[in-house]
Amino acid sequence: MPDRQSTALHLVAGGFGGTAGAILTCPLEVVKTRLQSSSLALRPLCFPAVQMQGLSGTWIRPALPTVGALELLRTILEKEGIRSLFRGLGPNLIGVAPSRAIYFAVYSGAKEKLNTVLVPESKKVHMLSAACAGITSSTLMNPIWLVKTRIQLEARAKDERRTSGFQCAVRIYHTEGLRGFYRGISASYAGVSETIIHFVIYEALKQRIREHRPFLTPALVFSPNSQDFFGVMAAAAASKTCASCIAYPHEVIRTRLREEGSRYRSFVQTLQLVVREEGPLALYRGLLTHLTRQIPNTAIVMVTYELIIHLATKM
């Protein structure tokens, strides 16, 4: 297959996979983002934050009460309506297709190049390819993800008018300038570690599946009735679970950095502030909701991607 045609195929496959996953898991993403926030999601459910003087004379803030995903979900439905569970879906749909398309195209392109200079299909190839794809995708798509996060964090009553993605982008530009669209980019770069872990484990599991199914023809590998189809889905889910648990704190830090009028300024400063004020466990706030959303989302994305690639190469 010519390079240009191959790149276009990976763009299309990645775009379709990302779009399918985004639509089906949007409500869980809204809940997760609210849980990660420092105050917007918790304000309606908690008493106002107070400060107390410690033994050393310094002022400390007690940890915020823990709010469960179901409790937050019920509050959003009661106070804001079911439409709020799909806040940010517009920017998500605008961004997820090109984001996934860019990601998979860069990943496949980098892997193809690196296979010619390093040991083919080695862990080093997978790690470097995933790093290139993650950094490229994060850099190009951060403005859209920032707008999405701001919209998801905006708590409005059922009868209040919602801010559109365009209005949010204009406000960011007027109040923070072009640099404002790249708030949280440092946390996104740190999150590349999650991408690397995910793809290294995924490629290893996928290779193991192929080794244990030598009697299957390539045409059967992604057949809906084939065990390998579900094997690839399980490999994607397992690899993403491991990666998410290890690298999750960057998600919380990124959400804090993207908050409007935030006192969080840098990756390290935010990390220290969250741990000091709320404790280390605050870095894992919303993890269960994240996994509940991310595991099926990743499985849908990867299987859709692999299936489209497989069908296209057989045409």
- Strands 52-53, 59-60: parallel, antiparallel or unpaired by DSSP? antiparallel
Phi, psi for residue 114 in degrees, rounded to 5? -70, -30
Q: Which residues contact 308 (CB under 8 A, 6 or more apart)?
A: 9, 12, 13, 16, 17
Confidence at 58, pLDDT banded by 50, 70, 90:
very low
Q: What is the C-alpha to C-alpha distance for residues 275 and 266, in angstroms, rounded to an integer?
A: 14
CA dihedral 264, 266, 269, 270 (to 10 degrees): 50
Give residue 63's pLDDT.
46
Q: What is the C-alpha to C-alpha distance for residues 303 and 306, in angstroms, rounded to an integer?
A: 5
Phi, psi for residue 59 in degrees, rounded to 5? -90, 130
Give residue 48's pLDDT.
40
Give residue 66's pLDDT.
58
Question: Which two tokens mark 18?
Answer: 């990302």
Q: Has residue 53 been placed in a domain?
A: no
pLDDT at 1 over 60: no
Q: Has residue 15 been placed in a domain?
A: yes
| Number of domains, the chain | 1
Q: What is the C-alpha to C-alpha distance for residues 22 and 219, in angstroms, rounded to an integer?
A: 28
Q: Has residue 57 been placed in a domain?
A: no
Q: Has residue 55 been placed in a domain?
A: no
Q: Has residue 61 been placed in a domain?
A: no
Short-list 189, 178, 182, 177, CA closest to 143: 182
Distance of CA 138 to the CA centre of its chain: 10
Q: What is the CATH number of the domain that holds 42?
A: 1.50.40.10
Asked if 73 and 31 touch (Cβ cutoff 8 Å), the reply is yes
Question: Which two tokens mark 177?
Answer: 């300038």
How many other CB atoms are found less than 10 A from the CB of residue 204? 15
pLDDT at 53 over 70: no
State the DSSP code for 37: S
Give 60's strand partners: 52
32/58: higher pLDDT:
32
Question: Which two tokens mark 293?
Answer: 């959303």
Q: Has residue 166 been placed in a domain?
A: yes
Q: What is the C-alpha to C-alpha distance for residues 204 and 282, in angstroms, rounded to an integer?
A: 32
Q: Which residues contact 122 (CB under 8 A, 6 or more apart)?
A: none
Q: Has residue 94 been placed in a domain?
A: yes
Q: Has residue 218 been placed in a domain?
A: yes
Short-list 75, 50, 42, 107, CA closest to 255: 42
15/183: higher pLDDT:
183
pLDDT at 45 over 70: no
Asked if 141 and 102 touch (Cβ cutoff 8 Å), the reply is yes
Q: For 204-249, what is each residue's pLDDT tens digit? A: 888 887 776 654 444 444 444 455 667 777 888 888 889 989 999 9
Q: For 112-167, what is each residue's pLDDT tens digit? A: 999 999 999 888 998 899 899 999 999 999 999 999 999 988 877 677 777 888 89
- Span 76-102, mean pLDDT? 83
Q: Domain range holding 19?
A: 3-46+67-314
